[in-house]
Amino acid sequence: MASERIIVVGGGLAGLMTAVRAAELGVAVDLFSIVPVKRSHSVCAQGGINGAVNTKGEGDSTALHFDDTVYGGDFLADQPPVKAMCEAAPGIINLLDRMGVMFNRTPEGLLDFRRFGGTKFHRTAFAGATTGQQLLYALDEQCRRYEVAGLVRKYEAWEFLGLVRDADGNCRGIAALDWYSMKIETFAGSAVMLATGGPGIVFGRSTNSVINTGTAASAAYQDGARYANGEFIQVHPTSIPGTDKLRLMSESARGEGGRVWVPRTQGDVRDPKAIPEGERWYFLEEKYPAYGNLVPRDIATREIFQVCLQGYGLGGRREVYLDLTHIPRKELDTKLAGILEIYEKFVGDDPREVPMKVFPGMHYSMGGLWVQFAKNESTGALDETSPKNQSTNVPGLFASGEVDFSIHGANRLGANSLVSCLYAGKIGGPAMVRYGRETSTKLPAAEGAFAEAKKRWDAEFARLANAAGPENPHVLAEEMGDWMTDNVTVVRENGKLKETETKLQQLEERWKNVGLTDRSGFANREISFINQLRNMLVIARVMTRGALMRDESRGAHFKVKDLAKGVTEENALPRDDANFLKTTIAEHSSEGPRISYLPVDTTLIKPRARKY
Amino acid sequence: MPSSIRISVKRQDTPTSSPYWEEYEIPYQPRQNVISALMEMAKDPKTRAGKATSPVVYDRACLEEVCGSCAMRINGLSRMACTALIDSLEQPIRLEPMAKFPVQRDLSVDRGVMFESLKRIKGWIPIDGTYDLGPGPRMPEAERQQAYEYSKCITCGNCLDVCPQVNGRSNFIGAAPIAQARLFNSHPTGSMNAAERLEALMSEGGIDDCGNAQNCVRACPKSIPLTTAIAEMYAATTRYGIKKLFGT
């Protein structure tokens, strides 16, 4: 048994990559996840993973991938880690291929690549339309190998509650809740990785899994970690509206030739197949001839929104067509079957025959826990061996994946999330190991801190277990989700953002009067949900305040002067580099988030206007 | 159009307590599925008779049939709850936990045995390390397409739940792990350790316990050709057994 032990919270791509990389160095890993790791939200990623390998001889390069990513993110990302990720991407794809991912192949047996948004190159490796699932399984399998070897110990159906910090503020471990016995325990580790994914459920319905509440990130934030760029929320252009969730319809549908359109005549309710070509409005292709249907997500989303606001939505509703019916059935089945089956099962129509009806849905958070990187000052490149990489401001606490704020700036490009999760884990695991080795003899005793944390959480959950107020937590969550979706997604306006802040504070007050309907002491998911709900409200305020204070438009953050005048460039505040080419930093206080700003490292690519 | 949705749930408070049935009624909405109905019930948990109760406990995550969490018995059939559309189900809809796994609470069961089986069959590619060793092996696209079908397994457990050979008296490993052995044995690198996986399938509770009922392939929500995998692995273990016997 290894004497060194780290803690990884979250079993998606970033967490599993972290665990595998640390275990490979001979370090034991305690891996925590609220679901069996194989059921983590990474399974929902569909379209693919970016890496510039130029298989198609188009002249693609990692430098172009770097430029597309920084430009797509409207220059808000610190550039050295982005460059390093893009350079590492082909190797990461090779690694996952060696792990057995069944990537689609070319006739020569090489990895095939498809097109995705925000680039003109075939840069996206894919395994049908279930790429995230396939990548996660490959890492799950490698992790199981280390589990059998005794290096990885899984705590599945355990929920992270908070950090354990010693007298000097170092993170020494975590407090966690067993989802069945409802017992709370503390765990020690030489470093802690949070790889807990995004906060989609803050918006009620989104493309996220119901486990993506952002509760762990919020708890760490309340325990002293900085949260950065919280206002940058990606709304995916194409999702299938539903009463329980908005199911993702991958960008790969457009990457493989799918076209977005509405009838040119408002209220034209004819069968779509009966509408002749000339009477269809392919508004993305018309407005963006260079990128067409593959403009970055923030832009496609706003265009679809605006078209529907103008009354061109299907039957006057908030829906547009995503049309694949011109593509041969065989090709669709080989490359997109996974997503077409989802549409078929939930809507009942066959998208090979009938255009799909879609609308934008909340999808991803570019913002998250603030993490650092180590830079070689002479070359400007990332020093990948440093323990500083992926570290938060809390010594000993690291973050990787969607839960960290790095890489994507103000807007993430499609198929960059899988590579960013894997890259963060790839450098994060070794960084934690090195941190642990460098600090092992220097840290103060922490027994008191563990006892204190156990006492704190036992008391908190005992209080929650007796909650008997009149407010239903599910109803509060629904109100939070509706307000956040209406006011803190595609279009932001300062008056509405202020109202949302007030509403969130009211919900926090009402939360104090929640009541439990489940009094059981075993597998009581409601107690856990009430705790998560408070954390969601806290992080919702961070997003809202950041959006309110950022008086510009940049990437996914689109602020209008007058809500009545629509989602147009003319009605929007312009990008303001002088005042807002800065990372938003939120720090927790009892009065709500305290906001400050940090400069963005733009040393490698000079910011320029973003025009597609 | 019905005015309400009626649902009966077989509940159980703890792993050792006795099950009981409760019936609920919620207002009808079009395009609901079993999960969205359960979510709606949690907002005001009461029985059809108006008695206050607790929200039903069940496992769920993605709601788009790729995480494998929400398998349960719906009107007697083992299936995923997220793709069980209310409009296509006879009411009252009967929800029960899967029967071949230990119940934790209500509809939530412990499927840990499935992950243990993946250990047993050594369900992974034994790579040398995560350092950069260049591209993986080339593979013909046609073979890749076949293998991909098996790599879609979401470990939901439906194939075990419907299998007559998976019961309290046997240790049968079930269809899912057998299909996973097929997946890894067909990979260019994984095939180097094919013998280890075949040995696992030939041990107690292995492929010999399959009774060829073929329920698994009908219950699989991802349409994985499970019986094809079993047939192929059966042939492979036979060949391997003969080879081993004669030492060639």
User: Degrees (nearest 5) of the Cα angle A488, A489, A492?
Assistant: 60
CB-nearest to B124 from A105, A145, A525 is A145
Secondary structure element (H or E) that encloses residue A141, with its range = helix A131-148
Contact residues on chain A for B148, CB-CB shorter than 8 A: 102, 127-128
Q: Identify whether the C-beta of residue B51 lies closer than 8 Å to the C-beta of residue B21.
A: no
DSSP state of B192: G
Contact residues on chain B for A98, CB-CB shorter than 8 A: 125, 127, 133, 135-136, 189
To test the contact with chain B by mutation, choose from A110, A155, A525, A532 the residue with the greatest count of B C-beta atoms within 10 A, namely A525
Decide if A598 touches B, using CB distance below 8 A: no
**Count of Cβ atoms closer than 10 Å to residue A479 Cβ:** 15
Q: Do B105 and A520 touch (CB under 8 A)?
A: yes
What one-character-per-residue DSSP string does A4-48 give? -EEEEE--SHHHHHHHHHHHHTT-EEEEEESS-GGGSGGGG--S-
Looking at chain A, which residue has its C-alpha nearest residue B39?
Answer: A244
Residues of chain A with pLDDT under 70: 1-2
pLDDT of residue A463: 96
Rounded distance, CA A580 to CA A584, Å? 9
Q: What is the pLDDT of residues B42-57, one digit of tens each?
A: 999 999 999 999 999 9
pLDDT of residue B13: 98
Q: Do B64 and A39 touch (CB under 8 A)?
A: no
Strands B93-96 and B77-80: unpaired
Q: Do A519 and B54 touch (CB under 8 A)?
A: yes
Q: Which of residues 225-244 of A touch B (CB under 8 A)?
A: 242-244
pLDDT of residue B248: 62
To test the contact with chain A by mutation, choose from B24, B26, B130, B196 the residue with the greatest count of A C-beta atoms within 10 A, namely B130
Q: Identify whether the C-beta of residue A358 lies closer than 8 Å to the C-beta of residue A248.
A: no
A187 - beta bridge partners? A174
Q: Do A100 and B53 touch (CB under 8 A)?
A: no
- Measure Cα distances from A124 to A81, A412, A413, A522, A547 in Å: 20, 14, 11, 45, 32
To test the contact with chain A by mutation, choose from B63, B65, B131 the residue with the greatest count of A C-beta atoms within 10 A, namely B63
Q: Identify whether the C-beta of residue B97 lies closer than 8 Å to the C-beta of residue B56.
A: no
Nearest to A136 by CA among A224, A16, A243: A16
Q: Identify whether the C-beta of residue A193 lies closer than 8 Å to the C-beta of residue A394.
A: no
- Measure Cα distances from A280 to A273, A291, A315, A320 in Å: 10, 19, 14, 11
Rounded distance, CA A404 to CA A420, Å? 10
Decide if A330 touches B, using CB distance below 8 A: no
pLDDT of residue A409: 98
Rounded to a whole number of angstroms, the CA Rg of chain A reads 23
Rounded distance, CA A264 to CA A281, Å? 5
Contact residues on chain B for A55, CB-CB shorter than 8 A: none
Q: What is the pLDDT of residues A495-533, one digit of tens each?
A: 999 999 999 999 999 999 999 999 999 999 999 999 999
Strands A594-599 and A582-587: antiparallel
**Count of Cβ atoms closer than 10 Å to residue B31 Cβ:** 15
**Count of Cβ atoms closer than 10 Å to residue A448 Cβ:** 11
CB-nearest to B155 from A38, A111, A346 is A38
Helix A131-148 vs helix A79-98: crossing angle, to nearest 10: 70
Q: Identify whether the C-beta of residue B74 lies closer than 8 Å to the C-beta of residue B81.
A: yes
Chain B: closest CA distance from residue A588 (Å): 29
User: Degrees (nearest 5) of the Cα angle A585, A586, A587?
Assistant: 120
Q: What is the pLDDT of residues A129-172, one digit of tens each?
A: 999 999 999 999 999 999 999 999 999 999 999 999 999 999 99
Q: Which amino acid is at A113?
A: F
Q: Which of residues 478-507 of A touch B (CB under 8 A)?
A: 478
Rounded distance, CA B27 to CA B4, Å? 4
pLDDT of residue A1: 39
Rounded distance, CA A584 to CA A227, Å? 8
Rounded distance, CA A549 to CA A547, Å? 6
pLDDT of residue A231: 98
Q: Do B54 and A517 touch (CB under 8 A)?
A: yes
Residues of A serving a catalytic function are 297
Q: Which amino acid is at A196?
A: T
Taken in order B68, A93, A95, A82, is the CA torsion positive or negative? negative
Chain A: closest CA distance from residue B64 (Å): 7
Contact residues on chain B for A39, CB-CB shorter than 8 A: 61-62, 67-69
Looking at chain A, which residue has its C-alpha nearest residue B184?
Answer: A100
Which CB contacts under 8 angstroms, 24+ apart, belong to A441-449?
A: A443/A166, A443/A168, A443/A170, A443/A172, A444/A166, A444/A167, A444/A168, A444/A170, A445/A166, A446/A164, A446/A166, A446/A167, A446/A170, A446/A172, A446/A173, A446/A188, A448/A167, A449/A164, A449/A165, A449/A166, A449/A167, A449/A172
Nearest to A526 by CA among A516, A539, A513: A516
Q: Do A345 and B13 touch (CB under 8 A)?
A: no
Q: Do A474 and B42 touch (CB under 8 A)?
A: yes
Chain B: closest CA distance from residue A82 (Å): 19
- Measure Cα distances from A527 to A304, A379, A465, A506 in Å: 39, 51, 6, 21
Q: Which amino acid is at A345?
A: K
Contact residues on chain B for A100, CB-CB shorter than 8 A: 124-125, 151, 183-184, 187, 189-190
Say how many Å lie between the first and final Cα of chain B, rounded.
Answer: 68
Q: Which of residues 420-449 of A touch B (CB under 8 A)?
A: 426
Nearest to A246 by CA among A526, A488, A485: A485
pLDDT in tens, chain B (248 residues): 789 999 999 999 999 999 999 999 999 998 899 999 999 999 999 999 999 999 999 999 999 999 999 999 999 999 999 999 999 999 999 999 999 999 999 999 999 999 999 999 999 999 999 999 999 999 999 999 999 999 999 999 999 999 999 998 889 999 999 999 999 999 999 999 999 999 999 999 999 999 999 999 999 999 999 999 999 999 999 999 999 988 76
Burial B47-72 (b: 16+ CB within 10 A, else e): eeeeeebbbbbbbbbbbbbbbbbbbb
Nearest to A227 by CA among A602, A596, A577: A596
Q: Do A211 and B61 touch (CB under 8 A)?
A: yes
Burial B131-168 (b: 16+ CB within 10 A, else e): eeeeebeebebeebeebbbbbbbbbbbbbbbbbebbee
Rounded distance, CA A505 to CA A476, Å? 12
To test the contact with chain B by mutation, choose from A106, A244, A349, A529 the residue with the greatest count of B C-beta atoms within 10 A, namely A244
